[in-house]
Amino acid sequence: MHPFFARDFLEVKIDVDRMIHGKEVKLRMTGGKDAGLPFCAILAAGGQLLASSDGPEGNIGCPVQPAERAHFNEMLKTTALTLSDAERQQIGAELDRFAESILNARKRRED
Protein backbone atom coordinates (compact mmCIF):
# COMPACT_ATOMS: atom_id res chain seq x y z
CA MET A 1 0.00 0.00 0.00
CA HIS A 2 1.33 3.43 -0.91
CA PRO A 3 2.46 5.50 2.11
CA PHE A 4 0.07 8.33 1.16
CA PHE A 5 -2.87 5.98 1.65
CA ALA A 6 -2.27 5.50 5.36
CA ARG A 7 -3.62 8.98 6.13
CA ASP A 8 -7.04 8.27 4.62
CA PHE A 9 -7.43 4.53 4.34
CA LEU A 10 -7.12 1.42 6.49
CA GLU A 11 -6.22 -1.61 4.42
CA VAL A 12 -8.12 -4.80 5.21
CA LYS A 13 -7.49 -7.89 3.10
CA ILE A 14 -10.22 -10.50 2.80
CA ASP A 15 -9.31 -13.99 1.61
CA VAL A 16 -12.54 -15.31 0.15
CA ASP A 17 -11.32 -18.91 0.28
CA ARG A 18 -9.62 -19.12 3.67
CA MET A 19 -11.46 -16.65 5.90
CA ILE A 20 -14.73 -17.39 7.64
CA HIS A 21 -17.43 -15.36 5.87
CA GLY A 22 -14.91 -14.14 3.28
CA LYS A 23 -17.22 -15.05 0.40
CA GLU A 24 -20.15 -13.31 2.09
CA VAL A 25 -18.09 -10.12 2.49
CA LYS A 26 -17.15 -10.21 -1.19
CA LEU A 27 -20.79 -10.70 -2.22
CA ARG A 28 -21.77 -7.71 -0.09
CA MET A 29 -19.08 -5.53 -1.64
CA THR A 30 -19.88 -6.61 -5.22
CA GLY A 31 -23.65 -6.45 -4.90
CA GLY A 32 -23.80 -10.20 -5.49
CA LYS A 33 -21.97 -10.03 -8.83
CA ASP A 34 -19.15 -12.39 -9.69
CA ALA A 35 -16.60 -9.59 -9.99
CA GLY A 36 -13.42 -11.63 -10.09
CA LEU A 37 -10.29 -11.08 -8.05
CA PRO A 38 -8.64 -8.91 -6.98
CA PHE A 39 -11.56 -6.72 -6.00
CA CYS A 40 -11.22 -3.49 -4.08
CA ALA A 41 -13.83 -1.56 -2.09
CA ILE A 42 -13.54 1.69 -0.19
CA LEU A 43 -15.90 1.96 2.75
CA ALA A 44 -16.84 4.79 5.06
CA ALA A 45 -16.15 4.31 8.77
CA GLY A 46 -19.76 3.16 9.20
CA GLY A 47 -19.38 0.47 6.52
CA GLN A 48 -21.14 2.24 3.64
CA LEU A 49 -19.66 1.50 0.23
CA LEU A 50 -18.08 4.69 -1.17
CA ALA A 51 -16.31 3.28 -4.22
CA SER A 52 -15.32 -0.06 -5.67
CA SER A 53 -13.16 -1.49 -8.39
CA ASP A 54 -16.32 -2.23 -10.37
CA GLY A 55 -15.66 0.22 -13.19
CA PRO A 56 -17.59 1.01 -16.37
CA GLU A 57 -16.09 -2.04 -18.09
CA GLY A 58 -16.29 -4.36 -15.05
CA ASN A 59 -13.86 -5.08 -12.24
CA ILE A 60 -10.58 -3.25 -12.82
CA GLY A 61 -8.69 -5.89 -10.80
CA CYS A 62 -5.06 -4.86 -10.87
CA PRO A 63 -5.49 -1.65 -12.91
CA VAL A 64 -3.26 -2.00 -15.95
CA GLN A 65 -5.30 -0.75 -18.90
CA PRO A 66 -5.76 3.04 -19.21
CA ALA A 67 -9.51 2.89 -18.41
CA GLU A 68 -8.79 0.76 -15.33
CA ARG A 69 -6.16 3.21 -14.10
CA ALA A 70 -8.52 6.13 -14.68
CA HIS A 71 -11.21 4.41 -12.60
CA PHE A 72 -8.74 3.73 -9.77
CA ASN A 73 -7.68 7.37 -9.82
CA GLU A 74 -11.33 8.44 -9.66
CA MET A 75 -11.84 6.11 -6.66
CA LEU A 76 -9.04 7.96 -4.85
CA LYS A 77 -10.22 11.38 -5.96
CA THR A 78 -13.75 10.85 -4.67
CA THR A 79 -12.92 9.14 -1.36
CA ALA A 80 -9.58 10.44 -0.04
CA LEU A 81 -9.89 13.11 2.61
CA THR A 82 -6.33 14.49 2.71
CA LEU A 83 -4.72 13.23 -0.51
CA SER A 84 -3.69 16.24 -2.57
CA ASP A 85 -3.94 16.43 -6.35
CA ALA A 86 -0.13 16.33 -6.54
CA GLU A 87 0.01 13.18 -4.38
CA ARG A 88 -2.74 11.54 -6.43
CA GLN A 89 -0.81 12.42 -9.61
CA GLN A 90 2.33 10.89 -8.10
CA ILE A 91 0.43 7.69 -7.32
CA GLY A 92 -0.97 7.74 -10.86
CA ALA A 93 2.51 8.13 -12.36
CA GLU A 94 3.81 5.21 -10.28
CA LEU A 95 0.81 3.11 -11.33
CA ASP A 96 1.44 4.07 -14.97
CA ARG A 97 5.06 2.85 -14.73
CA PHE A 98 3.94 -0.39 -13.07
CA ALA A 99 1.21 -0.94 -15.67
CA GLU A 100 3.56 -0.28 -18.57
CA SER A 101 6.01 -2.87 -17.25
CA ILE A 102 3.20 -5.45 -17.12
CA LEU A 103 1.92 -4.54 -20.58
CA ASN A 104 5.44 -4.71 -22.01
CA ALA A 105 6.02 -8.13 -20.41
CA ARG A 106 2.74 -9.40 -21.89
CA LYS A 107 3.74 -8.07 -25.32
CA ARG A 108 7.14 -9.81 -25.12
CA ARG A 109 5.41 -13.12 -24.30
CA GLU A 110 3.10 -12.70 -27.31
CA ASP A 111 5.99 -11.96 -29.70
What are the pLDDT digits (tens) for 23-69?
A: 999 999 998 888 889 999 999 999 999 999 999 999 999 999 999 99
Say if residues 77 and 88 touch (Cβ distance below 8 Å): yes
Q: How far apart are CA 106 and CA 100, in angstroms?
A: 10
What are the pLDDT digits (tens) for 60-87?
A: 999 999 999 999 999 999 999 999 999 9
- pLDDT computed for residue 108 by the predictor: 92
pLDDT band of 1, cuts 50, 70, 90: low
Domain that holds residue 86: 3-110
Task: Provide the number of structural domains found in the chain.
Answer: 1
pLDDT band of 92, cuts 50, 70, 90: very high
Q: How many CA atoms lie within 13 A of 86 on its CB side?
A: 0
